[in-house]
Chain A
Amino acid sequence: MRLKSIGVKIVTLAIIAIMVLSGCAGASNNTTSGSENNDTSSDTASGSENDNTSSDTSSDESSGGDEKELVFAYIMSDAANEYSVQQKEGVEAKAKELGVTVDIQSPTTSEGSEEQVGFIETAIARKVDGIFIFPNSVEGLYTAVQKAQESGIPFLSLTHRFDPDKMEELGLEYVPYVGVNNVLGGNLVGEFMKENFPKGTKTVIITGSEGANTNTERLQGLFEIVGEQGPDCWIDVVAMQTANWDVEQGYKVMQNMLSANPDIELVFAICDTMGIGALRAIEEANKKEQISIISYDGIREALSLVEQGDFLATVGMKPRDEGQIGLQYLYDWVTKGEKPQQDTDTGVTVVTQENLDEYRAALSE
């Protein structure tokens, strides 16, 4: 009897331990794709689990005799974020090419920085040769960056940028940045709208999680070009609702916005996943002819939809490039002592049917 209750306690503790390791699910989980930096959690496999399955990419060709093999730490934003996943694939490919080991970690939630801070500290303790990260939020990482820099470990950031002025204010060295500029992306969308749609087009915007940097920056960029919401704005924004980066919420939100505004002409979805949901709703309502969809992220499925003509355009970025360039820079920094420049822009493009092939070709390099 006592054994049984002890056994039960052990099992309970083990399950709790597994839970803690893999993280409890947040209340509202969302699909994230592209470079969303958001405040909602997604329940993903534990960092260490990820570590075992896909991460340790050691080279096949071992480095020369007395040369120590280089080890880098790479921290993702979210194991289910397709953008982050594609970025990781770029990193893995480059690691193979360079013959180095990259230890890949992923937080269980893209909300909050604690886990990423933890990974950075672990990497510092293990004395890796370099650290690079796709931060969920730069604000929470300043202390961790300071520790890395004090330990002399090269530290580089992808997709989200540590403002160099802020770094200077804090007395820290600048953190080299490889990635895109969301505001610029928003600008491009705005210009695309102005070029292709008459003034006053009835538009709805489906946003990601409120407060996410990605969300705010893209919207900021958009409104910089089309003008503040109001009578002078190029587009007539009749509704703006969040779908929290989730495809099903995108579907429902689109449905309800259509019910309220049957004469919508243009939809801008801040990420592809939500756009896909919106597309389904539009198809069900038989309004495909009437409504055009512009989306953002350039995930694989979105590119197919552009090809088929279901999406008018999406904003493509180069997550794989980011990963590769990031690792390359870090490698050069360590081996040759060349610290990379502050910013390297991997570029955003508005991808339409016209330039789709060109864009795809560029991606697979």
Chain B
Amino acid sequence: MDSKTKISRIAWLLQNSFALYFGMLLIFAVFTFLCALRGIDFLTPTNISNIVVQSAITAVISIGASVVILSGGIDLSVGSVAAFVGMLMAFFVKSGIPIGFACVIGIMAGIIIGLINGLGISYAKIPALIMTLGMMSIARGGALAVNDGKPIANFPAELGLIANSTIFGIPIFVIYVLVFYAVMVMVMSKSKFGRHVYAIGGNEKAAVLSGVKVKSVSLAAYCIGGMFSAIGGVFLLSRLMYATPNAGSGYEMDAIASTVIGGIALSGGSGKLINTLVGALILSTLKAGLQMLNVPYSVQQMTTGLVIIIAVYFDKASERRAE
């Protein structure tokens, strides 16, 4: 590639995600300003680190949601699966099963739930919205059933190490999240599987005629969705050392919001996974900033909704120009 093409390539890349990164900086700038008005320091290392930590679990669950959405599907069960796996793992740990083993069981449970979702959607042709909505309920019920609706507490201290042990002051699970993103970004951009996912999301019929095994790839996407939901549940448990059946509620909306803010179209087929991470950060910064400003909850809700709409509006700007 000659240098001219290279430069225009980079420019194109930046331009595409430009709105997103600009938005991120803009939100930071706005809150720094607003907080300063109230005498609060927004840009402290602690605060930034708090925001990063607060976004981490949403970010990890969003990986799964994004992969599913890229393949042209949707997964509404992610939050409930996180809660279910959290309760399940808590139960096993309290029953004396070694923590590492319980962790593995939990993640396997998430993959199995993803598998069931995928089978229903790809093979039984149940619409994804309905299948995952039903699964959301089922997983929620499962979370209640584990301990008859009661939360589980009092774990051995080692459980906290999964999420909370720090390296250079950064809680280790944040590093995990970055590693997961690194791996999955590689998978989605540089592997046959990743390309097939994009193809299915882009045009399923054309994908079939190009030899893509749509059913198995879709199935795998939902398994990935389940897996990352489970990982989110494990982290949540370890960080709070407290398992409740109602945990993770609202995560499905946050995951979809992060995906969408990050520029992945809900219809699938386009968008970069790495931007979902930025989307999660933006969401988290927004919430944290509003709380720091002691804004009433009602206003917080409205602002969050507004930001999501604005983010997608800018994302669609290029589409509108094309018309």
Contact = CB atoms under 8 A, between A and B. Distances in A.
Please tell me whether chains A and B touch each other in their complex, using a CB distance cut-off of 8 A: yes
Interface of A: 8, 11-12, 15-16, 18-19, 22-33, 42-46, 49, 53-54, 79-82, 85, 210, 239-242, 246-248, 251-253, 255-257, 259-261, 273, 276-277, 280, 284-285, 299-301, 304
A259 B44 contact: yes
B140 A43 contact: yes
Interface string B20-51: 00000000000000010010101010110010
Contacts of B247: 31, 246-248
Could you tell me the dominant secondary structure of chain B's interface residues?
helix
B297 interface: yes
Given A255-B54, A301-B242, 7 more contacts: A12-B130, A18-B137, A44-B245, A80-B244, A241-B297, A247-B242, A301-B154
Nearest to B253: A27
Given A23-B137, A255-B54, A256-B291, A8 B124 contact: yes
Interface in B72-110: 79-80
B54 A246 contact: no
A253 B291 contact: yes
13 contacts: A18-B137, A24-B133, A27-B253, A43-B249, A79-B144, A81-B149, A239-B294, A247-B244, A248-B240, A253-B291, A256-B291, A259-B47, A259-B50
A43 B80 contact: yes
A28 B40 contact: no
Contact of B288 (A26, A252, A304): A252
A18 B79 CA distance: 19
Given A31-B244, A276-B242, A301-B242, A210 B297 contact: yes
Contact of A19 (B38, B44, B47, B134): B134
B208 interface: no
Interface of B: 35, 38, 40, 42, 44, 46-47, 50, 53-54, 79-80, 124-127, 130-131, 133-134, 136-138, 140-141, 144-145, 148-151, 153-154, 164, 236, 239-242, 244-247, 249-250, 253, 287-288, 291-294, 297-298
Contacts of A33: 151
A144 to B, nearest CB: 24
B249 A30 contact: yes
A45 B298 contact: no
A15 B131 contact: yes
B129 to A, nearest CB: 11
Contacts of A22: 137-138, 140-141
A12 B137 contact: no
A169 B225 CA distance: 55
B140 A273 contact: no
A208 to B, nearest CB: 11
A15 B126 contact: yes
A1 to B, nearest CB: 12
Contacts of A32: 246
- Which of A11, A15, A25, A26 has the largest count of B CB atoms less than 10 A from its CB? A25
